[in-house]
């Protein structure tokens, strides 16, 4: 088997839905929206545009995690530019691998979710995720010119989601946590990067991702209302652990090693600088209101999120409300 291939065993219940009866009008509207908003990546994006990933006007220094740190001050201009460049490649690679996880887990959802309208909507999402993998890969290879392997914490979470046979945990891990984080992260990246092709690509992806998070929220809403207390706690713990894994994957270790920088000092800056702390907190701005909506933010778990400094987002609009008011895309 080639090194590029990696496999795991996954067992799940396969649901046919022979009566084709749909019960959720919200999911049906989302399905209509999903069909209407399909885009063709070869035509919607101008791939002929020249991109120079070392142009600091388009890929500003402020996009580098180390910007402003002591290590940054010690670098010459060439090293700083290299740092910005690697940061771009590292970030987009994480998106690429996360998108592949989304493609696989959504394909599983179509199989194991027990209601027809979720299978319909899931089918549109499989198409969306395929397109996302395609465009991130194409941008990285045609325009950036380097990439990073999948980060181990991201891989651990993807494995967990793909192996678990319970359909609701696939939704919770992928649609609520990973996609919620991706949505917030894309929003921040769009405010930093000034490269038109990347901005357009992220804008189109963001439009799709907003629907995906709403899909999770709508599908889980009623199901989570009838869980036993034990089952509910288990979901609450799963969501928290997933958040921690996702937060810790952002330490950039692979990048510091490749750049030959002092790894410990770089991680220290990443973990403790005010700007990075704020950045990490913003990443949870979509997840927290959605967890609250799903009743997964009980008094028992709140202190742990409080410690992460992310409870300030609990009264933000949930993704369902955002998409209803079309507030997500700008």
Binding region for Fe ion (CB under 5 A)? 99, 102, 129, 132, 179, 209, 212
**Shortest Cβ 161–Fe ion spacing (Å):** 13
Q: How would DSSP label each residue in 244-312?
A: HHHHHGGG-HHHHHHHT--HHHHHHHHHH-HHHHHHHHHTTTTHHHHHHHTT---TTTHHHHHHHT-GG
Looking at the Cβ atoms of 137 and 232, the one nearer to Fe ion is 137
Q: For residues 10 and 104, is the Cβ–Cβ distance under 8 A? A: no
Looking at the Cβ atoms of 243 and 259, the one nearer to Fe ion is 243
**Shortest Cβ 121–Fe ion spacing (Å):** 12
Nearest alpha-carbon partner for 11 in 157, 114, 112: 112
**Shortest Cβ 209–Fe ion spacing (Å):** 5
Q: How would DSSP label each residue in 3-64?
A: TT-------------TT-----HHHHHHHHHHHHT---HHHHS-TTS---TT-TTTS-GGGS
Looking at the Cβ atoms of 127 and 308, the one nearer to Fe ion is 127
Q: Say how far apart CA 198 and CA 51 lie, in whole Å.
A: 9
**Shortest Cβ 260–Fe ion spacing (Å):** 33
Per residue in 54-72, is it b (16+ CB within 10 Å) or e — as a string?
eebebbebebbbbbbbebb
Looking at the Cβ atoms of 209 and 254, the one nearer to Fe ion is 209
Looking at the Cβ atoms of 132 and 249, the one nearer to Fe ion is 132
Instruction: State which H helix or E strand residue 243 sits in.
Output: helix 229-248
Task: Tell me the two tokens of residue 264.
Answer: 């410990």
Looking at the Cβ atoms of 212 and 253, the one nearer to Fe ion is 212
Nearest alpha-carbon partner for 323 in 106, 34, 117: 34
Q: For residues 84 and 64, is the Cβ–Cβ distance under 8 A? A: yes
Terminal alpha carbon distance of the chain: 44
**Shortest Cβ 249–Fe ion spacing (Å):** 17
**Shortest Cβ 139–Fe ion spacing (Å):** 14
Q: Say how far apart CA 213 and CA 287 lie, in whole Å.
A: 9
Looking at the Cβ atoms of 171 and 305, the one nearer to Fe ion is 171
Q: Say how far apart CA 140 and CA 133 lie, in whole Å.
A: 11
**Shortest Cβ 128–Fe ion spacing (Å):** 6
**Shortest Cβ 132–Fe ion spacing (Å):** 4
At residue 76, the 3 state secondary structure works out as coil
Q: Say how far apart CA 159 and CA 7 lie, in whole Å.
A: 10
**Shortest Cβ 215–Fe ion spacing (Å):** 9
Looking at the Cβ atoms of 66 and 243, the one nearer to Fe ion is 243
Looking at the Cβ atoms of 71 and 183, the one nearer to Fe ion is 183
């Amino acid at each position: 088997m080639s090194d590029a291939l990696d496999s795991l065993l996954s067992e799940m219940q396969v649901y046919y839905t022979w009566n084709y009866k749909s019960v959720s009008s919200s999911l049906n509207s989302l399905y209509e929206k999903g069909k209407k908003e399909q885009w063709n990546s070869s035509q919607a994006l101008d791939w002929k545009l020249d991109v120079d990933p070392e142009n600091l006007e388009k890929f500003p220094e402020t996009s580098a995690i180390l910007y402003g740190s002591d290590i940054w001050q010690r670098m010459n201009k060439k090293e700083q530019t290299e740092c910005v460049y690697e940061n771009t490649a590292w970030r987009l690679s994480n998106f690429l691998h996360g998108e592949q996880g989304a493609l696989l887990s959504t394909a599983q959802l179509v199989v194991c979710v027990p209601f027809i309208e979720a299978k319909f909507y899931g089918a549109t999402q499989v198409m969306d995720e395929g397109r996302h993998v395609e465009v991130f890969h194409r941008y990285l290879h045609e325009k950036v010119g380097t990439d990073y392997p999948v980060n181990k914490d991201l891989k651990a979470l993807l494995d967990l989601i793909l192996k678990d046979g319970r359909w609701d945990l696939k939704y919770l891990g992928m649609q609520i946590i990973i996609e919620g984080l991706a949505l917030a992260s894309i929003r921040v990246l769009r405010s930093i990067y000034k490269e038109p092709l990347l901005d357009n690509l992220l804008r189109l992806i963001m439009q799709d991702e907003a629907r995906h998070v709403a899909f999770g929220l709508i599908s889980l809403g009623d199901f989570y209302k009838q869980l036993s207390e034990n089952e509910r706690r288990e979901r609450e713990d799963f969501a928290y652990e997933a958040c921690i894994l996702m937060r810790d994957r952002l330490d950039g270790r692979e990048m510091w090693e490749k750049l030959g920088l002092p790894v410990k000092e770089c991680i220290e800056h990443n973990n403790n600088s005010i700007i990075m702390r704020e950045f990490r907190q913003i990443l949870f701005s979509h997840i927290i209101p959605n967890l609250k909506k799903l009743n997964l933010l009980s008094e028992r778990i709140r202190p742990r999120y409080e410690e992460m400094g992310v409870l300030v987002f609990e009264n933000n609009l949930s993704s369902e409300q955002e998409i209803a008011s079309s507030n997500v895309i700008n």
